Structure 1
């Protein structure tokens, strides 16, 4: 029996799609990382009951952190993007979180820069506030160990490929790192949007991009690029096709990154039919209804789509590209750089970077 709803939400449903494909379907995946991160920080004495945890968010992490704070009796302060809607904001406020929205803006970059400045002010003026650093602190990997154990129980990990959105690295990266402790040959296929520096797609623009949560315009500190064997880049049209197919074929209503991962998983299994595949579906499809699912009649037949196989980043193009990454290091713009070695300037640099990314 669970003692808090966050504990239930931290566990995914494990759904068998076919004899060699499993789907880890979460309602809100980041609850797994936020809940364990907060528990661990309390255990170590890094934070204490009554402290305030702060981060910037466009929605999903805000919900996860608010649930974790509610579970452990902590205060929560969210510097909220303009993309946080009324439904989510109302939940956060009832959970006890302080939600500080940014002014309306037509520019995502302007919205991010405002959040940067505000987070820096909070950390400077409120010493009892603890910044969670969801995009830079490896503590967020810890929550995925039980999920790796679950996969290990039900899949042949000797020939397994994990497929899912890269995001902060604390989902696909963490899951694969734990699985490789017993099965080092587990492969990892990461899903990225175009317009992201994480794996070098910032030169390809997708005018309809709404899956930016799995990528970023700035480098993330806890993405371990050397964990990834293959990378798939998706545009909106291909991700929509995958999402509609996942719902139509398996009744799984999930977000656009799950749809992209589903197409990528189908392709990886087509290349090697003997492999087992685990697809990550990190959230439900509810917030994509108006922008994506309402256009389901525009979705293509998934079998009509195939990735553009590339050997160099400059070769990629819409709507879907694939490249063997071969566990290499980050591309130049995907590396987090600290401008000076002093602790104060390092903290300020990372603070600004995280606030912009969230």
Structure 2
């Protein structure tokens, strides 16, 4: 959409979660879309995209790589959003709840809000199988929750910004997404469903605090894999996380830990000065 607005060409290396409907929208807006083959593994899906992007960069030196997972400038994009929230929300302590993903949306927003003087508690959400907060030893074979975790280190995730981390499996994210539609008529994706379920639990523990849920996308690309299975969805009211004190205690299907600004796990660290592994989903061409 940004490329369309500013007259830039756009080349997208799409995750397996990008379905035919979304691909059609992207192509109508003028993007070139390279779709990856179907995959049941977050790690395999990202590794296939990494290899493909490396080939593209080798063949086309005129490509500009946005590096949204690694360039620190992407955090700055949330300052204007923080200003809008400051003007729209009542004063007082705020808890921001959202999928970690690249780290820019939750981290960038929380940092900008804190710098404005507001007391902000940041709650991040991860899937099982993501290296970002140490759940890579698990696999969730039912589905890939796009935009929430990663099988490789992301330089834009600033672990010290997070107060609390929740890890949820597919079935809990599905319960949150279906429950969000039933309760509020909001048709949103799995990462938003996971955020809604998490925020509901967090708000019940601290009802006097304002909780802000970040919703990443609509539910359209999850219509067949999630919403047509609504009869299977768990009742959110009966779901509770397991509270853990260390990543070593992590267990599916839902765990929560007071991260308290800890440093990144060893496997999630990027080496200072090294070029990070490329995993772009968008390429801008002049």
Q: How does 1:326-345 map to 2 (within 5 A)?
A: 326-337=260-271
Partner of 2:75: 141
1:227 Cα deviation from its structure 2 partner: 0.7
Q: How does 1:51-66 map to 2 (within 5 A)?
A: none
Give the TM-score, by structure 1 length: 0.73
Partner of 1:218: 152
Say whether 1:305 aligns with 2:230.
Answer: no
Say whether 1:85 aligns with 2:19.
Answer: yes
Cα distance between partner residues in 1 of 2:198 and 2:119 = 19
Partner of 1:239: 173
Cα distance between partner residues in 2 of 1:81 and 1:300 = 27
Q: Is the alpha carbon distance of 1:299 and 1:218 closer, same or farther for their aligned partners in structure 2, counting shifts above 3 Å? A: same
Partner of 1:273: 207
1:209 Cα deviation from its structure 2 partner: 3.2
Q: Cα deviation per residue 1:262-316 (whole Å; 9 max; x = unaligned)?
A: 1111121222221110011111111111111112122222221111000011212
SS in 2 for 1:281: coil
Q: How does 1:97-176 map to 2 (within 5 A)?
A: 97-102=31-36, 109=43, 111-176=45-110
Partner of 2:279: 354
Say whether 1:318 aligns with 2:243.
Answer: no
Structure 2: gaps spanning 5 or more residues? none
Structure 1: gaps spanning 5 or more residues? 1-66
Q: Is the alpha carbon distance of 1:149 and 1:250 closer, same or farther for their aligned partners in structure 2, counting shifts above 3 Å? A: same
> Whose helix proportion is higher, 1 or 2?
1
1:208 Cα deviation from its structure 2 partner: 1.4
Partner of 1:287: 221
1:82 Cα deviation from its structure 2 partner: 4.3
Give the TM-score, by structure 2 length: 0.90
Relative contact order: is structure 1 or structure 2 higher (C-alpha 8 Å, sep ≥ 6)? 2
Cα distance between partner residues in 2 of 1:142 and 1:166 = 16
Q: Is the 8 A contact 1:169 1:224 kept in 2?
A: yes
Number of aligned residues: 283
Q: Cα deviation per residue 1:109-148 (whole Å; 9 max; x = unaligned)?
A: 5554443333223323433211111111122223322221
Q: Is the 8 A contact 1:157 1:183 kept in 2?
A: no
Larger radius of gyration: 1
Cα distance between partner residues in 2 of 1:110 and 1:271 = 37
SS in 2 for 1:318: coil
Cα distance between partner residues in 2 of 1:228 and 1:105 = 30
Cα distance between partner residues in 2 of 1:189 and 1:107 = 25
Q: Is the alpha carbon distance of 1:164 and 1:105 closer, same or farther for their aligned partners in structure 2, counting shifts above 3 Å? A: closer
SS in 1 for 2:5: helix
Question: Aligned Cα RMSD in Å?
Answer: 2.4
